[in-house]
Amino acid sequence: MGPMNIDGDLIHIPMATTEGCLIASTARGCKAINAGGGAITIVTADGMTRGPCVEFPNITRAADCKRWIEQEGEAVVTEAFNSTSRFARVRKLKVALAGRLVYIRFSTTTGDAMGMNMISKGCEKALSKISERYPDMQIISLSGNYCTDKKPAAINWIEGRGKSCVSEAVIPGSVVEKVLKTTVAALVELNISKNLIGSAMAGSVGGFNAHAANILTAVYLATGQDPAQNVESSMCITLMKAVNGGKDLHISCTMPCIEVGTIGGGTILPPQQAMLDFIGVRGPHPTEPGANARRLARVICASVMAGELSLCAALAAGHLVQAHMAHNRNGAAAAAPAPAPAAISSTTTIQASTPPATPVEREESPIPGSCIKS
């Protein structure tokens, strides 16, 4: 899909999905972003987390351990953790108490690996160091759900997990009208009512977006990431504002928990490696460990922004249902030969972006990419 101008580089984005129209829709968002000069992205924090649970005979001992880890013990615990890997480096220790239970959230850099294996090893070593001082401490679980991996949790939204990224773009009003078939004012209004107020009404945590999970999961599958981490990785707040005297649109996507790696896990599979190569981030970065994984996170954050733009435009223009009926429920589309082996190559994703010709589509040809469910 794409290419998309991300930080000055034209990048094709690999996506694997069964969601009808997702690629065409995201491509439409890319087109609008490119016409505005491209996307800018930054990584504001980098730290994978693991939160073991340990238990003490009473709350006095538990509280003593918490205080020790937060004060004079911090350097000792950090040193033990760091000794287990060339790449894992503790950045933050956050400790919480629940009765006699103590939860220690280790936040660490992990080079170009997503880091769960690496960090688990470090935690084991750090816990054994803590137990030298606290022999009455019992290790309940190396993962105490204070991490939090693959479950909804406010701690991830607030503290971040993996790469914390932000992307932004300015789309000229004329492009909003020509490519996205709506207006700056309508998009801004839609974003406030749906992504901000609607999600607040629903009591959402980190769900202040239209469909970040759609794009993120498709790129995760194509590049060998752990798709179950889409729970927290898809947390995103999408903001839109009229700028330049109300003429143009400023859009940003803030994603605090993009958990990605370019080495380890599913990134060793040949098709996924080919896709990482395609973005220029396969394997370990030769000179700056972590730079490949951070670049992948930035590409994902920009891609999510393209998806947000296109779906929100479709909703603002009232095109969602029409396009959905045309592309997702259409017999011809359903009967079309499946791309082989799966839509994870750039070639197949580009094929997938060609919308089927249907009567509805001919009537509504300006909106081929606007049928994404959210």
Give the binding site for ligand ADP (CB under 6 A). Answer: 85, 87, 111-118, 261, 263-265, 284-285, 289
Distance CA 333, CA 336 (A): 5
**Catalytic residue selected from 324, 327, 361, 364:** 324
Output 117 or 174, the one with its CB closest to ligand ADP: 117
Alpha carbon distance, N-terminus to C-terminus of the chain? 20
150: annotated active-site residue: yes
Nearest alpha carbon to residue 81 among 130, 123, 142, 133: 123
Question: Tokens 């932000």 belong to which residue?
Answer: 166
* Phi/psi-derived region of residue 115, left when phi > 0, alpha when psi is between -120 and 50, beta in every other case: left
Output the smallest distance, CB 108 to ligand ADP, in A: 11
Output 62 or 113, the one with its CB closest to ligand ADP: 113
Output 85 or 310, the one with its CB closest to ligand ADP: 85
19: annotated active-site residue: yes
Output the smallest distance, CB 370 to ligand ADP, in A: 36
Query: 3-class DSSP state for residue 73?
Result: helix
Q: Nearest-CB residue to ligand ADP? A: 111
177: annotated active-site residue: no
Q: What is the DSSP annotation of 196-254?
A: IIIHHHTT-SSEESSSHHHHHHHHHHHHT--GGGHHHHT-EEEEEEEETTTTEEEEEEE
**Catalytic residue selected from 121, 226, 241, 250:** 226
Buried b (16+ CB within 10 A) or exposed e, 16-32: bbebbbbbbbbbbbbbb
Output 294 or 324, the one with its CB closest to ligand ADP: 294
Distances, alpha carbon 258 to alpha carbons 40, 99, 114, 136, 295, in Å: 17, 32, 10, 37, 11
Nearest alpha carbon to residue 26 among 257, 277, 212, 280: 212
Output the smallest distance, CB 155 to ligand ADP, in A: 20
Output 61 or 150, the one with its CB closest to ligand ADP: 150
Distance CA 187, CA 29 (A): 13
**Catalytic residue selected from 12, 125, 150, 241:** 150
Output the smallest distance, CB 217 to ligand ADP, in A: 18
Output 156 or 370, the one with its CB closest to ligand ADP: 156
Output the smallest distance, CB 111 to ligand ADP, in A: 2
Output 20 or 290, the one with its CB closest to ligand ADP: 290
Pairing of β 40-50 and β 53-55: unpaired
Half-sphere exposure of 142 (CA within 13 A, CB side): 12
324: annotated active-site residue: yes
**Catalytic residue selected from 19, 55, 124, 189:** 19
Spatial contact of 364 and 324, defined as CB atoms under 8 Å apart: no
Output the smallest distance, CB 149 to ligand ADP, in A: 12
Token readout for 262 is: 């370019």
How many other CB atoms are found less than 10 A from the CB of residue 205?
16
* Phi/psi-derived region of residue 338, left when phi > 0, alpha when psi is between -120 and 50, beta in every other case: beta
Output the smallest distance, CB 119 to ligand ADP, in A: 7
Distances, alpha carbon 227 to alpha carbons 179, 191, 215, 218, in Å: 31, 27, 12, 9
Which positions are annotated as active-site residues? 19, 150, 226, 324
